[in-house]
Amino acid sequence: MRYPNDHKDQARRDIVAAASERLRKDGISGTGLRTLMTDAGLTHGAFYAHFQRRSDLVAQAVGFALEQTTEALAARVAKAAPPDRLRALIDSYLRPVHRDRMEIGCAAAALAPEVARGDPSAREAFAAGVKGFVSLLEPLLPRGGSPAKRAGRAYAIFGGLAGALQLARAIPDSDLSDRILVSGREAAMAAATADWIGD
Amino acid sequence: MRYPNDHKDQARRDIVAAASERLRKDGISGTGLRTLMTDAGLTHGAFYAHFQRRSDLVAQAVGFALEQTTEALAARVAKAAPPDRLRALIDSYLRPVHRDRMEIGCAAAALAPEVARGDPSAREAFAAGVKGFVSLLEPLLPRGGSPAKRAGRAYAIFGGLAGALQLARAIPDSDLSDRILVSGREAAMAAATADWIGD
DNA sequence: TGTACATCAGTGAACGCGCGTTCACTGATGTAC
DNA sequence: TGTACATCAGTGAACGCGCGTTCACTGATGTAC
């Protein structure tokens, strides 16, 4: 063969990694196959040697992006002392650089509405990726509450973080945008540490 | 003239109203001019008699959608007794029908990431529309806090509501999606009623 | 009252372009003998 | 060792299609006389 045995696998991984950035940057329906392949250093014709259709790459790229974000945040969280880890996660998520660099940030904040409109494969990959993030967040919540309650709260907080980040990105007034990040951290902490009621 | 004096104005309003639904449903870059004009009962050629460019319509449609949502929620809130109004707003926002009917729902939940990537006109219209929503929410927060703090919190809560709704839309598991709505309401209430710290 | 003309919202063909997808081909390598 | 062939990741032209935008035209009405 022309290439080492693992060449094709590596190329596929390169395409997925490059696409995960480009899709976050320009949106799912705002990006064409030629752009995605050029980003990976290939020509568009090679695409169908790696994926059956465009939506397969989209699903894999969405999943990859969420895994990457969860890993990066997990590393930051691990550096904090245990009692500070919840705050470290929230502050890391809502920090200015995350607002300013959408292409390497959370895929939920960059793509959630497009995923919601998208086909099932992207939604499944998205759900799995979000589940991974929630698995990082949920153990950091204060003790108490049923497993279902705790998980629900973790999902809601994650959604809230992503929504606050989106707002900070969309608002052109940069002072207001900064204040949204700060208030978003306080709001997320309040939601995370609220007493468990009912059940 | 062929048409009544206000005909053209009415046609423009029809195009904006129809576009505000279609863009929420299919996304900004997922919708073409022919679809937008057909929705309004016209052919695509008439478009440039009403708008200078596509992005002008997008900006107006985004603004219109947010105004519409704020008005609808204001009407629901006004029906509740004053002490229940905050809860009424939050529960109305995160109710299942809002998740299920994206095309007539909040434009922030449907379009925020695309607006953030979009041109300044859309971002300005978005910021103005969000400001309107925040003007409804902020007076419902408990007393206390500086005006800047109160406003920041109102923005953060709004972002949180939109993000939770997006997550509930994108997750295919409908039981989990329902739980996200319920937890999102609790999280938003906790954030809204948290003590004012600092400042 | 009847006719000629001006107005202008709306129509639909056409422009160049990028889209997702297909496919005949290239060319560097490994294998067979 | 040298030659012929098979393999296959990647190339780039081509497909039909929808995009945003332009523009010559239509046709119903109001106005002028």
Q: Does the beta-carbon distance from B167 to A155 stay under 8 Å? A: yes
Q: Does the beta-carbon distance from A159 to B156 stay under 8 Å? A: no
Give the residue on A whose Cα is nearest the Cα of B190: A191
Q: What is the mean pLDDT of each run of 10 residues along chain B (199 residues)?
A: 70 97 98 98 96 97 98 98 98 98 98 98 98 98 96 98 98 98 98 88
Q: B167 CB near a chain A CB, below 8 Å? A: yes
- In this prediction, residues A89-111 reach a mean pLDDT of 98
Nucleotide with C1' nearest the B54 CA: D20
- Identify the pLDDT of residue B8: 84
Q: Tell me, what amino acid is at A14?
A: D
Each residue's pLDDT tens digit, B6-54: 778 899 999 999 999 999 999 999 999 999 999 999 999 999 999 999 9
Give the residue on B whose Cα is nearest the Cα of A173: B127
Kindly list the distances between the CA atom of residue B45 and the CA atoms of A62, B15, B28, B85, B94, in Å, as whole numbers in the listed order: 37, 13, 20, 46, 39
Please work out, in degrees rounded to the nearest 5, the angle formed at the alpha carbon of residue A126 by the alpha carbons of A109 and A117.
Answer: 75
Chain centroid to CA A93? 10
Helices (H), chain A: 7-26, 33-39, 54-78, 85-93, 96-100, 107-117, 120-137, 147-170, 174-193
pLDDT exceeds 90 at position A1: no
Give the residue on B whose Cα is nearest the Cα of A148: B179
Positions of chain D reached by protein Cβ under 7 A = 7-14, 18-24, 27-30
Mean pLDDT of chain B: 96
Residue tagged 């030629």 (tokens):
A34
CB A65 within 8 A of CB A112: no
Q: B186 CB near a chain A CB, below 8 Å? A: yes
Give B31: exposed, middle or buried? Use CB within 10 Å, 0-12, 13-18, 19+: buried
Q: A137 CB near a chain B CB, below 8 Å? A: no
Q: Which of B18, B25, B15, B20 is nearest to B47 (CA)?
A: B15
Q: What is the pTM of this model?
A: 0.96
Each residue's pLDDT tens digit, A22-74: 999 999 999 999 999 999 999 999 999 999 999 999 999 999 999 999 999 99
Residue tagged 């752009």 (tokens):
A35
Helix (H, G, I), strand (E, B) or coil at A31: coil
Quote the DSSP letter at residue A5.
T
Of A123, A172, A191, the CB nearest to B120: A172
Distance of residue A69 Cα from the nearest chain B Cα, in angstroms: 16
What is the rounded distance in angstroms from the CA atom of residue B24 to the CA atom of residue B36?
Answer: 12
For residue A132, the chain B residues in CB contact (below 8 A) are: none
- Identify the pLDDT of residue A7: 78
CB B159 within 8 A of CB A160: yes
Each residue's pLDDT tens digit, B43-64: 999 999 999 999 999 999 999 9
Residues 6+ apart with CB under 8 A from A32: none
- Identify the pLDDT of residue A9: 87
Tokens read off for B163: 């993000």
Residue A144 dihedral angles phi and psi, to the nearest 5°: 110, 170
Q: Tell me, what amino acid is at B161?
A: L
> Distance, angstroms, CA A53 to C1' D8?
20
Helix (H, G, I), strand (E, B) or coil at A178: helix
Q: Tell me, what amino acid is at B98?
A: H
- Identify the pLDDT of residue B5: 65
Positions of chain C reached by protein Cβ under 7 A = 7-14, 18-24, 27-30
Residue A42 dihedral angles phi and psi, to the nearest 5°: -130, 175
> If you write DSSP's letter for every residue of B108-141 in order, what string do you get?
HHHHHHHHHHS-HHHHHHHHHHHHHHHHHHGGGS
> Distance, angstroms, CA A2 to C1' D5?
15
Quote the DSSP letter at residue A146.
-
CB B129 within 8 A of CB B155: no
